Amino acid sequence: MKQFALGVTSVVFVFSLLLWLGFDQSTSKFQFVMESFWLPLANINLVLGVDGISLFFILLTTLIFPICLLASWSFEKGSLKTYLICFLGMELVLLLVFMSLDLLFFLYFFETVLIPMFLVIGIYGSRERKIRAAYMFFLYTLFGSLFMLIGVVYIYLSAGSTNYEVLSVVSFSSYAQNWLWLAFFASFAAKVPMLPVHIWLPEAHVEAPTAGSVILAGILLKLGSYGFLRFSLGLFPAACIYFTPLIFSLSLFGVVYASLTAIRQTDLKRLIAYTSVAHMNLVMIGLFTGTVIGVEAAILQSLSHGFVSSALFLIIGVLYDRWHSRVIKYYGGLTHTMPIFILIFLFFTMANLGLPGTSSFVGEFLLLVSAFGANATACFFAATSMILGGGYSLWVFNRIAYGNIKIVGFDLSLRELLIFLPLIFGTLFMGIYPKIFFCPMDASVSNLVWVSSWS
């Protein structure tokens, strides 16, 4: 069953690479469009398509899942069949979320993701609080999406369609845009997550198995930023301009608060969870700068976070598999006993704080440049994330790598090394040659920014 699941996800990844190779970079139109008539009398149909914005989210999804299954190779808790079905089902639904061009179906797939992840956390979690964490994850997201459902119903009754391409030429009044934007904001903000609806994320990360944490950080957090990018910016441009000060305020507070909170954590997973909150709030600042550079930098930073945070959770998983503890003070001196592991840990620690040559540097630099053009004060407070990030990243690395040897263990196995190699390659490649990522998204982002009258 493991081999079958790994084979399926690997084949899907190869096909997603073919999607990239066959992608036409010169147009902002949706490509590979497929339409299936569902309720033609009500003008509600399943429409799937790919543009420069969704392309790399699809590639990130198809890359992370085989890595997660490889990381779960020694899985021994509960029903393996149910576990693998949850992951394969999750991959299918996530791909449909990123390809859906119909608001109603997007909402349907957006909420369907909750079911397999709820089961993964609630059944295969590592501690006694896993049920509570699963319900927090489920209810926070579901509650916000109820407002989005009301907004989708209003749009359908007003425009007579939920097709994204049809709605992109429909002009809503400023008053309607503001209320619809708030309805969508309630759903997407919980997924990013933004303060004060971020509480579920550290709980879910701490209780989830390693592969579940990788999916949460690597892909599920991107659903919120993707929703803002695709629907809030695409359909409600006037409301986005109106609410930009709100987004900047919440995001800046989230960046500083999450970074300071990360420094005082004693649990490795909870620490990385708070760093994810800080990085994703930084992405939100880029999305609402209203510039092509800002939006492209936000997308690149989202992809970079998918690589780096996934790798950090896998690193914690390696430690947990050996000693069944995530408490920082129990580790020390691993440089002497696990040199290859520490080398990889150092690489992703540097990538997490934005070392030049890594993917995070390109995304953060361009993001701060665009933020400075929009609001210099916002840029100043956003830049503190790099200083605070260096503080908690280097502190935790120092505690684990150096000092007296507290635990003696064996270094990475070949399987564990293979798990990290694609993430290392992706992080370096994106940092050294980001142009190959910017070119496919340039036409779509430019169209989104200029047509939506953001300039």
Per-residue pLDDT, 128: 73
First to last CA, the chain: 52
| DSSP tag of 357 | T
Per-residue pLDDT, 306: 92
Reported pTM: 0.92
> What CA–CA distance (Å, rounded) separates 211 from 120?
9
**Which pLDDT tens digits describe the chain residue by residue (455 residues)?**
889 999 999 999 999 999 999 988 888 888 998 988 888 788 888 999 999 899 999 999 999 999 999 988 877 666 788 889 999 999 999 999 999 999 999 999 999 998 999 998 888 887 678 888 888 888 888 888 889 999 999 999 988 888 888 888 888 888 899 999 999 998 999 888 888 888 888 888 888 888 888 998 889 989 989 999 999 888 888 898 899 999 999 999 999 999 889 888 888 888 998 988 898 999 999 898 888 898 999 999 999 999 999 999 999 998 888 888 888 888 888 888 889 999 999 999 999 888 898 988 998 899 999 988 888 888 888 888 888 888 888 888 988 888 777 777 778 888 889 999 999 999 999 999 988 988 888 888 888 887 655 43
Residue located via tokens 């592969």: 211
Which residue intervals of 160-232 are DSSP H helices?
A: 164-167, 174-191, 200-207, 210-215, 221-227
| DSSP tag of 41 | G
> What CA–CA distance (Å, rounded) separates 223 from 97?
8
Per-residue pLDDT, 451: 60
Measured CA to CA in angstroms, residue 264 lies from 18, 242, 257, 396 at distances of: 45, 36, 11, 10
Per-residue pLDDT, 450: 76
Check if the beta carbon of residue 141 is closer than 8 Å to that of residue 150: no
Per-residue pLDDT, 134: 86
* Residue 239 CB neighbours (<10 A): 23
Check if the beta carbon of residue 370 is closer than 8 Å to that of residue 288: no
> What CA–CA distance (Å, rounded) separates 376 from 363?
18
> What CA–CA distance (Å, rounded) separates 194 from 180?
18
* Residue 40 CB neighbours (<10 A): 8
Residue located via tokens 């509480």: 199
> What CA–CA distance (Å, rounded) separates 180 from 207?
34
Closest alpha carbon to 158 in 45, 235, 85: 235
> What CA–CA distance (Å, rounded) separates 20 from 236?
29
> What CA–CA distance (Å, rounded) separates 374 from 15?
39
> What CA–CA distance (Å, rounded) separates 121 from 108?
21
Which residue intervals of 264-375 are DSSP H helices?
A: 268-287, 292-323, 334-337, 339-352, 359-374
What are the extents of the domains in the chain? 2-451
Per-residue pLDDT, 264: 86
Q: Which two tokens stand for residue 62?
A: 């198809």
Per-residue pLDDT, 94: 94
Check if the beta carbon of residue 66 is closer than 8 Å to that of residue 421: no
Q: 3-class SS at 344? A: helix
The alpha carbon torsion through 364, 367, 373, 374 (nearest 10 deg) reads -120
Per-residue pLDDT, 172: 85
Q: What is the DSSP string of 251-294?
A: HHHHHHHHHHHHHT--BHHHHHHHHHHHHHHHHHHHHTT-SHHH
Closest alpha carbon to 68 in 187, 218, 190: 218
Considering only CA atoms, give the Rg of the chain. 21
> What CA–CA distance (Å, rounded) separates 204 from 202?
6
Measured CA to CA in angstroms, residue 239 lies from 158, 182, 245, 298 at distances of: 17, 9, 11, 20
